Amino acid sequence: MAGEGSGAIGRVAMVWDDGLAAYDLGQGHPLAPIRVELTVELIRHSGLLRAGVDEVLPGSFGEAELLRLHHQDFVEVVKRLSADPGGWCDPTFGLGAGDTPAFEGMHAASSLVCAGSREAARQVWEGEADHAFNPAGGLHHAMPDRAAGFCVYNDPAVAIDWLLQHGAERVCYVDVDVHHGDGVETMFAHDPRVLTISLHESGRFLFPGTGRVQDIGDGAARGSVANLPLHPGTTGEVWLGAFDAVIEPLIRAFDADVLVTQLGCDTHATDPLAHLALTVDDMAAIYARLHRLAHETADGKWIAMGGGGYQLVQVVPRAWTLAFAEMSGGALEVEIPMVWRELAVERTGAVPPVSFTDDPVRVSDAMYEQAVRAAKDSVAALRELVLPHHGAR
C-alpha cells in the first residue's frame, strides 16, 4: 500500500535522538512524547529503515542560531524556568499554567527539537538526502517573544531561516495541521522569499483564532501568505478538493527551491482537540501530493516535520509512518506489525490499531454542506487575493 510506486530517489533521512522525548509538558498533557516514540518504533518495525534510508542525529545547535528568530529576553526566561519550572513568570511569555507549562530542562529539549529540524534542512539542502523527516518537530505556534499552543521554540522557522542563510532563494512552507501555523507565518510575513501556506480549521472555531483568508502578507511580501480556513466537519474529499483547486497551482506558481512541510495529523476525525473529519487514508493522499509537488517544483527537496495530533496510539504513529513510507518509497502491509502492537500495549495500556487504513467517516448532511460551502468560499478568496500575485489562476 502506502509508498508503493513513489520512487524515492537517493537517500532519505529520519532525524531522531532519544533525547527528543524530553520535550515533555507533563503527565496528562495532550502533547505527550509517547506519540513520537511510538511513531519511530512503528517506522522501524515496518521495515522502512533499509538501504539508503537512515536515522540521523540532530547535531549541535547554538544559542546564536536560536536568537536569530527568538528574542533574548524570552530565551533567558525559558532558561531560568528550565532550572526552576515552578518559578514566577510574566504571563506575557506564554509559559506556566495552561497550554504550555514550564518543565525541567525545557530550554535544552526545545533547542534539540530545533536542532532536529535544522538538521533535516541541512541534510536536504546539502544533498546528503533527497527527503528528511523530523517527527518530533513542527512546533509552529511559538512566537519570537513567547511560547504558545504547546510550542516553546519554533523549529520550522529555524529550518527555513537556515535554508535562507545557506542560499535558498525561495522556500515554500505548507502546514496541514488542523491549527493555523501562526508562528511561522508571523516570522516570515514580511519576507517575499518565503511562501507560507496553512490549511486549517477556521479560527472562528479553534485555537489560535487566526489564519483568515484575507491575511496575505505585508508590504513587498504581499501575497506570500496563504490561509485556507475550513469548517468543522470537513471531510478528506472536501479538504483534498480545496488543495487541488488552489494550493497545488499556488505551489507550482511559486516554484520554490525547497518544500518544507508541517504534517500535523490532528485533522483526523477522532482527534480530541479539533473538529475536522479526515482519515489516515486521506492523510496518505495528502503526503502523496506533497511528495509529487516536491519533485515537480523543488527538484525533490522535501523537508517534513511532525506537529499536532492527539490520538497518541490510534492515529499519530500510523499517520507519520505513512508519511515516511511516502518519503522513502517503502511499501507497508495493510496490517500493522504485531510486535509494535504489543509494544504499544506495554507502553500505554491502550488497545492499538490493527490496520494502516481507516473506515470511511460519515458526517451529517447539514455539516457536510456547510463544509463544502466554506471550502468553496476560501478557495474563491485565495484565487482572488493571492494567486494573482504569483501569476496563477
DSSP 323-362: HHHHHHT----SBPPHHHHHHHHHHH-SPPPSBSS-PPP-
**What burial class does residue 120 get, using C-beta atoms within 10 Å of its C-beta: 0-12 exposed, 13-18 middle, 19+ buried?**
buried
Under 8 Å between Cβ of 261 and 160:
no
Strands 194-201 and 171-175: parallel
Beta bridge partners of 14: 55, 133
Q: Please report which helix (H) or strand (E) contains residue 134, including its range.
A: strand 131-134
**Backbone angles phi and psi of 352, in degrees to 5:** -85, 160
Under 8 Å between Cβ of 182 and 140:
yes
- Residues 380 and 180: their CA atoms lie apart, in Å, by 19
C-alpha cell of 374?
466554506
Ramachandran area for residue 349 (φ above 0: left; ψ -120 to 50: alpha; else beta): left
Sequential pLDDT tens for the chain (393 residues): 654 434 445 799 999 999 999 999 999 999 999 999 999 999 999 999 999 999 999 999 999 999 999 999 999 999 999 999 999 999 999 998 889 999 999 999 999 999 999 999 999 999 999 999 999 999 999 999 999 999 999 999 999 999 999 999 999 999 999 999 999 999 999 999 999 999 999 999 999 999 999 999 989 999 999 999 999 999 999 999 999 999 999 999 999 999 999 999 999 999 999 999 999 999 999 999 999 999 999 999 999 999 999 999 999 999 999 999 999 999 999 999 999 999 999 999 999 999 999 999 999 999 999 999 999 999 999 999 999 999 998
- Residues 326 and 335: their CA atoms lie apart, in Å, by 17
Block residue for cell numbers 507533563:
26
The candidate with the shortest Cα–Cα distance to 237, out of 115, 375, 55, is: 375
Torsion from C-alpha of 97, 99, 105, 110, nearest 10 degrees: -150
Catalytic residues: 141
CA angle 13, 116, 216 (to 5 degrees): 100
Strands 225-230 and 258-262: unpaired
pLDDT at 326: 98
pLDDT at 298: 98
pLDDT at 2: 52
- Residues 37 and 360: their CA atoms lie apart, in Å, by 27
Tell me the pLDDT tens digit for each residue of 300-339: 999 999 999 999 999 999 999 999 999 999 999 999 999 9
- Residues 143 and 209: their CA atoms lie apart, in Å, by 15
Instruction: Give the chain's domains with CATH numbers.
Output: 12-390 (3.40.800.20)
Tell me the pLDDT tens digit for each residue of 156-198: 999 999 999 999 999 999 999 999 999 999 999 999 999 999 9
Under 8 Å between Cβ of 235 and 278:
yes
Distances in Å between the Cα of 227 and the Cα atoms of 215, 230, 266 are: 7, 10, 17
Under 8 Å between Cβ of 168 and 126:
no
- Residues 116 and 56: their CA atoms lie apart, in Å, by 9
C-alpha cell of 377?
468560499
The one-letter amino acid code at 245 reads A
pLDDT at 97: 85
Instruction: Reduce the DSSP state of residue 260 to 3 states and report it.
Output: strand
pLDDT at 1: 63
Under 8 Å between Cβ of 159 and 260:
yes
- Residues 364 and 367: their CA atoms lie apart, in Å, by 5
Under 8 Å between Cβ of 26 and 150:
no
Give the N- to C-terminal CA distance of the chain in Å, as an integer.
34
